[in-house]
Amino acid sequence: MASGSIPEQLLMNDELIRSLIEVAKDTALLHGVLMRTTESPNFPEVVTHAPFTLFPSPVPKGLFEQALKVQTLFNQLVDRISQDPCFLEEALASTIKVDKFTARLFDIYRHVLKEGRSQSIVLGLNRSDYMVDQRPDGSTSLKQIEINTIAASFGGLSSQTPAVHRHILKVAGLLEEQKKVLNNDPAAGLAAALAKAWQLYGSERAVVMFLVEDVQTNIYDHRYIENELWRRNIPVIRRRFDDVFDTGSLDSDKRLFVGSQEVAIVYFRNGYMPQNYTEQSWEARLMMERSKAVKCPDISTHLAGTKKVQQVLTQPGVLEKFFPDDPEAVTQIRATFAGLYTLDMGAEGEKTVAMALEKPDQFVLKPQREGGGNNVYGADICRVLEKVKGGSERMAYILMDKIFPQPVQNYLLRQGTPVKLSTCISELGAFGAYVRQGTEMLLNECVGHLLRTKSIEHADGGVAAGVAVLDNPLLF
């Protein structure tokens, strides 16, 4: 058990645990930690609690603070990458040859570059995810899993979970631990950045459009941010790709209209996976990217979040290119990098293949995909690499050192699943928000955090993928 964990005698008290589980589920519902059910995703009257842990999980205070502190530097890094066409072209040259999805995104990027950007306002809402790596000598360090530059989720629900865990700890008699559950309100910070970009756009009639999926069980996560905007008298609409294709248009000034409504901001909560797109969706995406609307993210920022870019950034001298006069920033960012290796054709890629086949349990094989459940582990790495190692298909992946967090014990509360004491690991996310107009960075903040926890039975997958659950850090 890690330091800061819930006392073992409490975890083993079955009668108390049954009582706390009942209290926890009701408290989650009372505080709006909600999702629609997979059986009735489009019926707002049928809801359940979002999956969450019974107790908050221990996180080392120093590493937690490191994640939040470095977030503004990652905001700057992503933004600077998005403004560097030569870097993106070079970094993604091999990937777009073999990954059709990234290639389609890159086609839109090239179109926009050739035509010229219609909007100087850039809005970034991202989330950088980490695990605490525990080495055999007992030392720990913060290692980045990935940075999500599109549809970074759970800023809404994670704003509500601290109150739930505080109440559970109070009922359990853990009053000192209750005081350690931090305030956290990413929804307000994300909405503040959206509001700033909307104000800069300069039309009180123009709306913020959430670009959403057809089926959305996680709608309440969106609603918290929507409601923050409505409180500021900023109008919000929810539309799908099909709606934009059917009713969207650009006027002579490239202002985007969906139906009769002018769109100030397109906030993508969809569009990060190949299955999100039809040919009509691709046409709609191009129209939105060509428009004067502020895109969150714009196409270059979307590409800046690819796994291949993440891998290239770990190479010597690359970070220095983006922070030429700030060696301290380079040091802080690089300290979070895990080992990342290319699978491009050539000697270096061959070395990576051999390394992965020799010790597959030490690595993770990653395609250029978001949304959880896409990575390859253990013996499956050998199966995939044996199939693609001789050809260019391998360039669709990168290889990453596997991170080994110290497991803790907790109860995972998920609708329809029996509750048992599970051995778990956690992933910490830091939410970033920035707004730039032209060359001037007007807002750059870390606006909150997210902790997700899953049983060690599952190698991959997030909350939306049905594997991880929401959590809060208990700092020690």
Q: pLDDT per residue over 281-329, tens digit each? A: 999 999 999 999 999 999 999 999 999 999 999 999 999 999 999 999 9
Amino acid at 83: Q
Look up 25 and say whether it is catalytic.
no
Look up 127 and say whether it is catalytic.
yes
Residue list, annotated binding site for ATP: 146, 307, 366-375, 377, 400-403, 427, 452, 454, 460
Q: Of 36, 127, 143, 308, which residue is the catalytic one?
A: 127
Please check the confidence at residue 226 and state whether its pLDDT lies above 80: yes
Predicted pLDDT of residue 136: 86
Mean pLDDT of all residues in the chain? 96
CATH of domain 340-402: 3.30.1490.50
- Confidence class of residue 4 from pLDDT cuts 50, 70 and 90? low
Residue list, annotated binding site for substrate: 127, 150-153, 216-218, 269-272, 463-464
| Distance (Å, whole) CA 457 – CA 455 | 5
| Distance (Å, whole) CA 469 – CA 212 | 22
The arithmetic mean of pLDDT across residues 155-169, rounded, is 98
| DSSP output for 334-389 | HTTPPPEEE--SSHHHHHHHHHHHH-GGGEEEEES--SSS--EETHHHHHHHHHHT
Predicted pLDDT of residue 461: 62
| Element holding 187 (H helix, E strand) | helix 186-201
The arithmetic mean of pLDDT across residues 145-168, rounded, is 98
CB 435 within 8 A of CB 403: no
Structural domain spans, the chain? 8-338+403-475, 340-402
The pLDDT tens digits of the residues spanning 10-53 come to 999 999 999 999 999 999 999 999 999 999 888 889 999 999 99
Q: Of 148, 300, 426, 444, which residue is the catalytic one?
A: 148
Q: For 395-434, where are the alpha helices, taking DSSP H only? A: none
Q: Copy the structure tokens of residue 380.
A: 């499956």
Look up 204 and say whether it is catalytic.
no
Q: Of 180, 366, 389, 394, which residue is the catalytic one?
A: 366
The pLDDT tens digits of the residues spanning 357-376 come to 999 999 999 999 887 778 99
